[in-house]
Structure 1
Amino acid sequence: MSKKALYLLGIAITIILGTFLYVNLCCNCTMKTPAGDTEKVPVVVAQDVVIVPFILNGSGIDYQSNDNIKFLKNSFAVVLPVSDSVSIGIENLKTFLIANPKQKVTITGYATSDETNTTTFENLGLARANDIKKFFVSKGLPDAQFDTKGEIKDKWKMDGDTLLGPADYTFAAAEATPAVTDEWVILKDKINGDPLILHFSTNKSSYKLTAVEKQKVADLVKYMEHVKDAVILAVGHSDNVGNRDSNIVLGQKRAEFSKSYLSKNGIEGSRITTESKGPDEPIGENTTAEGKANNRRTVITIK
């Protein structure tokens, strides 16, 4: 066979072999996948983010955070720690209240109708409001500038078993502050700005006054002698050792002791009002000896 014939034969064999390989190996690359065999890509549905903002809005303060103070279902205790944004808001409130000592803030706590109240408060919303107040006071905010309320709602926004921000903060309208020129106005502001606070030993309602406390008593006597329609308020407090009813009685005894002491020092008993908060308004942690000692007190102010 001639070289030319061999050359042509080789070309033919190459073409045939190439066609065979293409059909068997490459055609599948261009075949369409049957409709029923199409790979399904899972669809991720974004869940709605539940937000209840932490809002502090009054004359002179305007703060808002998308995070908030939280409570577990059926619990009166603030979930700790709180977020940084809530902590910043609390610090702003602290600065505002210290600069405005006459400003009052009402904390209204909420609970849902299907929650169980295991506290001594009349409802779980009020217990939550008082725990928020307690938390604020632990951060250095003035105890006397807060009032508390509680309300029951049919429902509240939740994340799982956690209630998001079940509280509102209402700022009382600020009263116009006249220029302080009267001697007795100045003295009253001094007395109420740094009130006489008597601390008591455990389960006791007697007390020996220090020199500083005696001077505060002297200021009270002086004020009452010159402002004939003034009334003193003595509020007794206790720690949480024992049951609440007993502590209410103990707080009242402390308030009555303070009234008796002031009466012996020249203030008419009829011009002194007493009441007891018992363990309901602590200013210290009841988990420590120091905190309990701070809570066993009577606070004396001019009404």
Structure 2
Amino acid sequence: MSKKTLYLLGIAITIILGTFLYQKFCCNCCEKTVTDDTPKTVSTTVEEPDVPFVLNGQGIEYRTSDNLKFLKNSAKLIVPVSDSVTTGIEKLKAFLASNPKQKITITGYATSDETNSTSFENLGLARANDVKNYFVSNGLAENQFTTKGEIIDKWKMSADTLIGPADYAFESIDSTSTATDEWSLLKEKINADPLILHFNTNQSRQTLSDADKKKVADIAKYAAHVKDATVVAVGHSDNVGNRDSNIILAQKRAEFSKNYLSKNGISAERIETMSKGPDEPIGDNQTEEGKASNRRTVITIK
């Protein structure tokens, strides 16, 4: 065997031996997979679903991500409620105090798989009433709330807690209705303390006092705004003399009142007159004072 061949054979043996020794003693130096058997902690925090507490009406708008809560199958509100919801309730209290005619319907919800153990028709209605009672306990007016309940298939929950199973519908305030109420109050005022004109014996004319003129102004104001209003002037007399004459005299007193009112902005066509004569006395006709009180015209709104 030549030297060259031996040289090449020695190199080959060296390479083979080196490879064998490397794999046997240095494989731990090679890349290896590291396994970590340490138990890992899995977070069990449950994020609550987003069901905001919303108050949205004409003149009020409030929203917070917190809300009222009920346990499943329960009609009792979980208290205490969050600060942000309490803030909303306080804003609602101030709003309703400034708007006494505002009405709000609270609709409570319950799911079809919940058990209703209350005396209410359904669990949703029971929850709506408990929300209303909570509002009232915080100073809100009970007569500004109505309630109803609905049963639905599902509601957003966190574990066994329903988040905000209620909403709040603000009824529209009818400005016409508000105005009608204003004029109704004026009518009540006029009729509760009517304009009464007193007359001397056998007379159908009378000078009006400042208080009488103010009442005339109220009647004119009412008639100007309530187009179908009718003013009624009823004449009366004492019982001195012939009854038929007193009927005529009392009618003249009513006509005098109508004439005066028509000159103060009330259409004569909207003023009715009638005579009661001596038939409805308010004073004792046996005394001069009583007779004087019976000689009168009473003016009211029909």
Task: Using structure 1 for the length normalisation, give the TM-score.
Answer: 0.48
- Larger-gyration structure (1/2): 2
